[in-house]
Structure 1
Amino acid sequence: MNAPGYRSVFAPGLFAGKVIVVTGGGSGIGRCTAHELAALGATTVLVGRSAGKLYAVANEISDDGGLADTAVCDIRNEDAVKQTVAAILATHGRIDALVNNAGGQYIAPLATISARGWDAVVATNLTGGFLMARECYTQALQAHGGAVVNIVADIWGSMPGMGHSGAARAGMVSFTETAAVEWAASGVRVNAVAPGYIASSGMDHYPPEAAHMLRAMRKTVPLGRFGTEAETSAAIVFLLSPAASFISGTVLRVDGARPQVRMGWPMGLPDAQAAEHGAVKAFNGFHRGTVPKVLSP
């Protein structure tokens, strides 16, 4: 029996006939976003390094009645990116939008990060995103317009303990602003979404000794909880939608006001009644979403 289906807040058929590329589509926020876009009528092309993960998500989308394709690619490899984008165009005839979601990092203080480790994180979180955006633009979007959404991170105050990722994500914010100006004449909008502490499968990739820290992070968020993959996906979908047609060069934060926490202002986390209020209650529209193992009771 098929799954119940994605419970999106957006209009059915919003992206009917559109082809949208989602990097890092095999897990986490990318997987969730691909499901929502497909539920809204798009053909989603999942890009990543793990064929097995991509096929699994594509099969989920197909089982739910959506359209999905896969493209195995290391986005850090310039030639591979060029060939992958060309192959997508050859198969589908068009690319209407890109969700630059692929990324990764590891916990380490700056003094211990090697040049190789630094380069690996920057290549994934900055260079790879640039290459994907450039090729989607030059091979497709430049001719007929479209939208790019780059996924960055909660870098306000920077990222002690993950300085390589913070530097790369800050670079992607600057790239977003520059591309928004340079590509506007072609009818291309470029924005970014900055997830804060999101309960996503990516949390399970950190070492076991980080589990206590990960579980405690919600206590530093004024709204008193983790965000959901679906809440992040909704921000991405909005920026891709016609409703955002005069929004470009901006970063939409999905973080529960965490960067605004300051010494001197008491952290009063919402009580149970406030947490259930419609304005701040967690939105879980992803019918296939699961709680990260590190957060499971």
Structure 2
Amino acid sequence: MTADRYRSVFAPGLFKGRTVVVTGGGSGIGRCTAHELAALGAHVVLVGRNAAKLEAVAGEIAHDGGAASFHICDIRQEVAVQSMVQAIVAARGRIDGLVNNAGGQYITPLEKISAKGWDAVVATNLTGGFLVAKECYLQSMQAHGGAIVNIVADIWGSMPGMGHSGAARAGMVSFTETAAMEWARSGVRVNAVAPGYIASSGMDHYPPEAGPMLREMAETVPAGRFGTEAETSAGIVFLLSPAAAFISGTVMRIDGARPQVRMGWGQVSAPVEAQSRDAVKPFNGFHRYQTPKVFQS
């Protein structure tokens, strides 16, 4: 740990009195975002399938002086999502923000993806996000307004090796744009954040043989490095904040210009001395950040 509190760039108390739901809040980007929102005064509701992880993060937030609760839910199940949102509204009165972060995929070429595998990834990364957003809208935001941020991925150029995830994430971008249009009449904003190569615990879910490839990916990023969880969280928090009141239906890329890489350019990644300059050096505001095992020596 570098400090005993989250070091956010946003004003203290920014989300005081607000309730924000974070799916997939038990690890990685979701955990980091939950910590930042709680440090800024929000009551964070963690949602996921692993009770132990959710309880641990809620305990961390409470230890740091924040407020959090959690609900165990399989977001792929419509009835379960309806009940989960109903319980949150009953306990908190309303839902002011939603971070649709839960997701997952595995590396495999298209021809080896079974129908079951395809359906599982699409259900998690697209259908589940739709169900949670719809219920938050119907049960709270339609009457009170709110802000939704859907977490997608670097799909520009698509996702060879993870075509099921690429298709689902592209679908979520379209859903984001449609919801932003249809729900604007209720005072609801809907945006997306597309993380690029972020050094989060999600990288440890890939098989050990993927380790060398994962460690070398930074060389393909013009910024010359991996992004941090805190840099991703900052984008999410901004889009949830009042400063983004006129931003809806858009995707914020957090990727160090990775999709702009083209063959024939020569050296892609910035040299070490450039990476240390103030405008681009890493921001690590999350005091409880844990380096993914794949990057540990």
What's the TM-score once normalised by structure 2's chain length? 0.98
Match of residue 284 from structure 2:
284
CA distance in 1, matches of 2:220, 2:270: 12
Count of residue pairs the alignment pairs up: 295
Match of residue 249 from structure 2:
249
In the TM superposition, structure 1's runs of 4+ consecutive aligned residues that sit over 6 Å from their partners are none
1:37 is paired with a residue of what secondary structure?
Answer: helix
Deviations 1:99-148 (A, max 9, x none): 00000000000000000000000000000000000000000001011100
| Contact 2:230/2:284, CA 8 A, preserved across alignment | yes
CA distance in 1, matches of 2:251, 2:162: 20
CA distance in 2, matches of 1:261, 1:40: 36
Match of residue 21 from structure 2:
21
Match of residue 70 from structure 2:
70
CA distance in 2, matches of 1:70, 1:146: 20
Match of residue 45 from structure 2:
45
Displacement of 1:290: 1.1
Match of residue 202 from structure 1:
202
Which residues in structure 2 correspond to 1:98-109 (within 5 Å)? 98-109=98-109
Deviations 1:153-183 (A, max 9, x none): 0000000000000000000000000000000
| Contact 2:220/2:268, CA 8 A, preserved across alignment | no
Displacement of 1:269: 2.6
| Contact 2:195/2:253, CA 8 A, preserved across alignment | yes
Displacement of 1:150: 0.0
CA distance in 2, matches of 1:170, 1:131: 17
CA distance in 2, matches of 1:265, 1:249: 32
1:46 is paired with a residue of what secondary structure?
Answer: strand
Match of residue 165 from structure 2:
165
Q: Which moved more, 1:120-129 or 1:273-282?
A: 273-282
CA distance in 2, matches of 1:272, 1:211: 22
Q: Is 1:228 aligned with 2:228?
A: yes
Please give the root-mean-square deviation of Cα atoms over the aligned residues, in Å.
Answer: 0.7
CA distance in 2, matches of 1:33, 1:17: 17
1:121 is paired with a residue of what secondary structure?
Answer: helix
CA distance in 2, matches of 1:186, 1:267: 48
Amino acid at match of 2:283: F
User: Which runs of no fewer than 5 residues in structure 1 stay unpaired?
Assistant: none
1:99 is paired with a residue of what secondary structure?
Answer: strand
Displacement of 1:268: 4.2
Deviations 1:12-68 (A, max 9, x none): 000000000000000000000000000000000000000000000000000000000
Identity %: 76
Amino acid at match of 1:265: W
